[in-house]
Amino acid sequence: MYYDKLDDFPPDFLWGAASAAYQIEGAYDEDGKGPSIWDVYAHQPGNTFNGTTGDVAIDHYHHMAEDVALMAKMGLKAYRFSVAWARVIPDGDGAVNEAGLDFYRRLIRELKQNGIEPVLTLYHWDLPQALQDKYGGWESREVIPAFAKYCRTLFTAFKDDVKYWVTFNEQNVFTGLGYRWGNHPPKVQDVRRMFAANHIVNLANAIAIKLFHELVPNGLIGPSFGYGPVYPLTGAPTDVLAAVNADDFNNNWWLDVYCRGEYPYFMEKTLTRMGLMPDVTDADRALLKQAHPDFLGINYYHGGTVQQNRLEKPVAEAAKKDFSATDPYLMQPKEDQAQSPEVPMFNAVANPYLKKTDWGWEIDPVGFRVGLRQVYEKYRLPLFVTENGLGAVDQLANGEVDDQYRIDYLAAHLRTMKEAITDGVEMIGYCAWSFTDLLSWLNGYRKRYGFVYVDRDDDGPKQLRRIPKKSYYWYQQIIAQNGAQI
């Protein structure tokens, strides 16, 4: 840091925390809710860690008022949550389930009565199973009007009460894990199908944003992208080129579509040569150009480091399915020097300068500032950090959780975010992941992120008691002073 003094956080900065429906709600088949692809997938043996499911999760559905009371006591300014599509429209594109809609109506009312700004995510990965069965999910354009209908329902119901809306959570992650790596539903391992499904999600995103601007003229909407800057392993020009390629492949492929309304030029040419470019019609291109997000949501956990891919396969041959030792969820190699034959333009490696979490995710607060700077410089949209946090094994001892490591992690990231604000980045707010402990999609209940401990584990829900951790009281102070002590 080279400033003698940092700028203050904006006076209306949204200090928040986040969650997602499947990871907290439970009540998976109550009050008319239909099954989502995650309900079905998690029930199939072998798909999730220890067979964990979101059937009960942390039972937020029945603890909502208690959870919001804890948010209010903390002084939270914003709470990001997602709506379960299948709770509102059980079969995806049929009749609206008033009881499901009512749950979110009550949640939003509770938040507003406590002075907490709701931030509503439309899609956090739990597609109604009926749309998967009927159309083939995101591989079919038939899902687009269904999504538009679902969006219209929520826009109409909540346009006066919800100002901030997120379209898709981490489109890059759910299409990658669902269609390339095959460890999220629908468990496909085919990179060509991934690009095709991803294009359909892009169209759904554009339609939702256009519709939003017609129906909610005073609201703000944007996607939340799983972002990380890319570093070259060395200063060798070949590694620098690999980093340029990886940035295109991992980031620009989504961000350029969201923010510029077009696919990045070099990448499109390369994918076309590889035979991986999805079918994009002129009408599609026109639609993408018409959608203008009001802000960009950034979910930041870590970036990535790459070097030249030593295999040097020609792109056409490399496009044949071939999976490397790269860890699909981490998007980092399990071992150094893992080769990525499927995408020969770069090769992910561990960064020798960075420490890792218990789950092997690199800890890189400086990369947060780098990333915020790069994205703001390129797209000039206000940024809203919609996720950032540390997954760890927490110990409940004598009724308390001393998670000083989480405080250290969050403090380091808040510090570099404040530096980015001082640099000139325009920021709306910051939602830590997560408010309460919750279900990790692939890691069960052992990997905890919350400010509030929930006493359940992989074996069962226990009492589901809520116990504020040390980090809860720390964040309460940060909010009270609008980050002045950072």
| Residues 169-198, interacting with ligand BG6 (CB under 6 A) | 169-170, 173
Minimum CB separation from ligand BG6 for residue 20, in Å? 5
Minimum CB separation from ligand BG6 for residue 96, in Å? 26
The answer to whether residue 387 is catalytic is yes
| Residues 294-353, interacting with ligand BG6 (CB under 6 A) | 299
Minimum CB separation from ligand BG6 for residue 331, in Å? 10
> Contact region for ligand BG6 (CB under 6 A) — 91-99, 166-174, 194-202, 418-426?
166-174
Task: Judge whether 207 and 287 are in contact, CB under 8 Å.
Answer: yes
The answer to whether residue 170 is catalytic is yes
Q: Please say which residue, 359 or 379, places its beta carbon nearer to ligand BG6.
A: 359
Task: Judge whether 100 and 28 are in contact, CB under 8 Å.
Answer: no
| Residues 376-435, interacting with ligand BG6 (CB under 6 A) | 387, 391, 433
**Coarse DSSP helix, strand, coil percentages of the chain, rounded to the nearest 5 percent:** 40, 15, 40
Task: Judge whether 194 and 180 are in contact, CB under 8 Å.
Answer: yes
Minimum CB separation from ligand BG6 for residue 224, in Å? 8
Task: Judge whether 238 and 308 are in contact, CB under 8 Å.
Answer: yes
Rounded to an integer, what distance in angstroms lies between the CA atom of residue 467 and that of residue 457? 14
441 sits near ligand BG6 (criterion: CB under 6 A): yes
Q: Which residues pair with 436 in a beta bridge?
A: 452
Q: Which residues pair with 348 in a beta bridge?
A: 306
Q: How many CB atoms lie within 10 A of CB 64?
A: 19
Rounded to an integer, what distance in angstroms lies between the CA atom of residue 15 and that of residue 431? 6
The active-site residue, picked from 170, 342, 362, 419, is 170
Rounded to an integer, what distance in angstroms lies between the CA atom of residue 189 and that of residue 22? 23
Cα–Cα separations (whole angstroms), residue 452 to 58, 68, 258, 331, 434: 11, 12, 34, 28, 9
The active-site residue, picked from 25, 110, 117, 387, is 387
Q: Please say which residue, 263 or 409, places its beta carbon nearer to ligand BG6.
A: 409
Task: Judge whether 224 and 293 are in contact, CB under 8 Å.
Answer: no
| Residues 213-242, interacting with ligand BG6 (CB under 6 A) | 226
Give residues with Cβ within 8 angstroms of 352, minimum separation 6: none
Q: Please say which residue, 39 or 170, places its beta carbon nearer to ligand BG6.
A: 170
Q: Please say which residue, 120 or 486, places its beta carbon nearer to ligand BG6.
A: 120
80 sits near ligand BG6 (criterion: CB under 6 A): no
> Contact region for ligand BG6 (CB under 6 A) — 26-34, 135-143, 275-283, 440-448?
440-448
Q: By CB under 6 A, name the binding residues for ligand BG6.
A: 20, 169-170, 173, 226, 299, 387, 391, 433, 440-443, 447
Active-site residues, by number, are: 170, 387
